[in-house]
Structure 1
Amino acid sequence: MRYLKVFWHHDLPDEPVELYSELDDAGYEIRKVEIYRDGHRDFADGETSSGATMLGEIPIPSLEEIAEQEEFSPALIEFAEFENVWRQAVSGSGGS
């Protein structure tokens, strides 16, 4: 498993600004959290989701490929950081 955090730099009011993904060995998303500018969080896994958040249908590109796009700042993170963000999103305690 790999855990990815991506900051998305944009001015779109209805799009997330932070993306967190739990990826399997082939790069497919298993769980995902999207955090919006106002602090609210949506999530998705193989069984449930909130808001418009959905798991990707194709493997996530490599960290290097994501970083080549200037609007994205990606980083690998530890399981504990992802799990904390996931729990906050699922429990609804991640913002307004």
Structure 2
Amino acid sequence: MLRLYNPRPRQPLVDWTWTVRILSAYSLAVFALVWLAMINPKISVWISEGAEAELAMAVSPDVAPETQIAQPFAPMRATQVVERFYK
């Protein structure tokens, strides 16, 4: 098979160096949070309270609040159609 000379090398679809950096930064942050939760017991209490508060807000209330319907300021009147525009 004959290959033609290509002066420009193919560009990769993903820049793996940045992908690895971002992934390692996230994993380091998660590892640090888990380590802090294991070291200090108060942090695990804060996390559980935050999760409870978040899940409690997701549940809808059993009784809906009373709705208020807006009333018009003045009584509404029916208008007549001018027939000369429709002939």
TM-score > 0.5 by shorter chain: no
Q: TM-score, normalised by structure 2?
A: 0.19
Q: Please say which structure displays the higher CA radius of gyration.
A: 2
Structure showing the higher strand proportion among its residues: 1
Which has a greater percent of helix? 2
